[in-house]
Amino acid sequence: MTQLAEGFEGLRANLQGTVLAPGDAGYDEARRLWNAEHVREPAVIVQVRSAADVQAAVRYAVAEGLEIAVRGGAHNMAGMSSVDGGLMIDLSPLNQVSVDPEARRARAGGGALLGDLDAATQEHGLAVPAGIVSHTGVGGLTLGGGMGLLTRMHGLSIDNLESVRIVTADGSLQRAAADENADLFWAVRGGGGNFGVVTEFEFRLHEVGPMVHYGMLFFGQEQGAEVLRMAREVIPALPREVNVIIACLNAPPAPFVPPEHHFKLGYALVAVGFGTAEQYAEAIEQLRGVGSPLFERTSPMPYVAVQQLLDEPNAWGTYHYEKGTYLEDLTDEAIDVITEHFPRKTSPMSVTMFYHLDHGYLETADDATAFSGQRTERYAMFVIATTPVLEALEAERTWVRTFWDALQPHTINIGSYINGMADADEARLRASYGDKYERLVEIKRKYDPDNVFRRNQNIRP
C-alpha cells in the first residue's frame, strides 16, 4: 500500500480530477453505495473530470494490477460499483447533459443521473426512455437495456442510443456507433459494463410532456387474483400512449391514502398516459374493471415529478436484493404463485413489479442489440427486497429466492434481464443472452482480452 500511495502522486499529476485514498477527506462519502449492504474499501478512488482522466485511471490500474470498479449512480444491486483494494473510477463529476432540440439529440456524461437527463431534456418538452428512479445512473441502466414508462411508446434506452464514447481496456478512447466500431456498439447495447467505461451517451429524443396523466388504483390483497386476470386482458389492449406498471406492495402512508389503508398489502395499477385526457380516462375506467379499488389517485402531473415518485421509497441507505425474470403471460398458474408468495414478505418496503413489454419494445429486431431478452411480447417481473436495517435483509432475500424459484415453471426459459440480477453466474448469463452469448465473448476478446472490466454481469473472454 505504501508503494501504491507513493504512486498516487504520479496519478494525481496526470488528472484534472481528484484522487482519494483511505483517510482522505471525502473518501468515505465517495466510496458509499446506494445498496447499504455493500461496504467496500478501494485502495484509490479517481473522481474523473474528463475522458482523458478515465484513460489515465484505466492505464494506471492495469499497470499496477488493480481491479477496476466503475461508479456512475452507484445503484448496482450487487455492489459492483466499488471494490476492495482496487481502483474505483467515480464518474459522478461527468454529469453534464446537453440537448439539441432541433436535431432531437441529447449527450449525457457517463456519470449523469436519470434526473439530470430528464431535467435537461424536459426544458424542451423532450425525453429519453429510461428508468423510474431519478437518482439511478444513466450508464448502468442504459448498458443493460433500460426499461421505464416510455418503453411501450419508444422502446428501451438502448433502442434510442445513437453513439457512445468509451474508454476500452488498453486505455484508448473510441467512438462506437452504427458507422464506427459497429461490433462494439452492438455489444454495449445490452452487454453491460463488460467492454469499457462509457464517458458519453448520445440519445435520440421524443416529444413528452411536460405534463402527463398519472394515476394509481390500489386494490386489496383479497382482490389480487381478479386484478391480475383483469390486467392481462386490459393492459395489452390499451393504446401505446398509456403504460401500466403492476405493483404488488404495501399501501404507502401518503396523504392521498386513507389512514385505514396505510401499509395495507395489495395490488396497484400505476398508469401513466402520454396521449389525450379522453384516451387516458377511458383507460382508467377499464382498469377499474374488477370493482372499486380501495383508493385511487388520478391527476395531471409533470413528467419529471412522475419520474421522481419512487425516489424516496428507494432512498440511499437502505438494504436491497433483487431477482428478475420474464413471463410470456400472466397465466392462471403464475397468478396462483404470485398471490401465494407476494404476501409472505415481511418488510413493507419490499415490492414485486411487472412491466408489460410490447409496441415500442417489439420494434427493434432481436439481433440488432445485445439485449438479454428476446423481442417478443412478455412481462418483465422484478421481485425486490428492501429493508431499513441489515438484520431484516436475510429473511427478505429468502422470500425473493423462494418466490422466484416457485415461478420458474411458468417463466420464459431464457434467463433474466441483466439489470434485474443481484447475483449471476455464467450459466445464468448464457441462458439470458442465448445465441448472443458467443458473439459477446468474441467482442470481449477483441476489446478486453484480459477481462479488465469484470465487476459486472461478467462475460469472460
Tens digits of residue pLDDT in 376-409: 999 999 999 999 999 999 999 999 999 999 999 9
> 211-420: which CATH number, 3.40.462.20, 3.40.50.970, 3.50.50.60, 3.90.79.10?
3.40.462.20
30 vs 388: CA distance, rounded Å: 21
What pLDDT does 7 receive? 63
Cell of 427: 450459466
Average pLDDT over residues 170-181: 98
| Percent of the chain surpassing pLDDT 70 | 98
What pLDDT does 4 receive? 53
Whether residue 301 is predicted with pLDDT greater than 90 in this model: the reply is: yes
What pLDDT does 402 receive? 97
What pLDDT does 28 receive? 96
**Cβ-based neighbours of 238, under 8 Å, separated by 6 or more:** 244, 283, 286
What pLDDT does 1 receive? 45
* Host H or E run for residue 114: helix 114-122
pLDDT tens, position by position, 290-300 = 778 999 999 99
387 vs 395: CA distance, rounded Å: 10
Whether residue 243 is predicted with pLDDT greater than 80 in this model: the reply is: yes
- Chain region(s) in the chain for CATH 3.40.462.20: 211-420
Beta strands in 96-189 (DSSP E): 97-100, 105-109, 126-127, 161-167, 173-177
Q: What class has domain 97-208+437-447?
A: alpha beta
Q: Calculate the alpha carbon distances from 406 to 149, 208, 209, 335, 379 in Å.
A: 28, 39, 40, 11, 17
Average pLDDT over residues 229-238: 96
What pLDDT does 223 receive? 95
pLDDT tens, position by position, 101-129 = 999 999 999 999 999 999 999 999 999 99
- For domain 2-90, the question of CATH label 3.30.43.10 is answered with yes
pLDDT tier for residue 13 given thresholds of 50, 70 and 90: confident
pLDDT tens, position by position, 216-225 = 999 999 999 9
459 vs 426: CA distance, rounded Å: 7
The single-letter DSSP state of residue 289 is T
- Chain region(s) in the chain for CATH 3.30.43.10: 2-90
What pLDDT does 8 receive? 83
What pLDDT does 426 receive? 84
Please count the CA atoms within 13 angstroms of the CA of 417 that sit on its side-chain side. 27
Integer Rg of the chain from CA? 22
What pLDDT does 424 receive? 72
Whether residue 2 is predicted with pLDDT greater than 50 in this model: the reply is: no
What pLDDT does 414 receive? 65
pLDDT tier for residue 3 given thresholds of 50, 70 and 90: very low
pLDDT tier for residue 283 given thresholds of 50, 70 and 90: very high
pLDDT tens, position by position, 72-94 = 999 999 999 999 999 999 999 99
What pLDDT does 10 receive? 80
| Percent of the chain surpassing pLDDT 90 | 91
Average pLDDT over residues 41-62: 97
22 vs 88: CA distance, rounded Å: 12
pLDDT tens, position by position, 327-371 = 999 999 999 999 999 999 999 999 999 999 999 999 999 999 999
Average pLDDT over residues 167-177: 98
- Chain region(s) in the chain for CATH 3.30.465.10: 97-208+437-447
What pLDDT does 373 receive? 86
| Helix, strand, coil share of the chain (percent; to 5) | 35, 25, 40
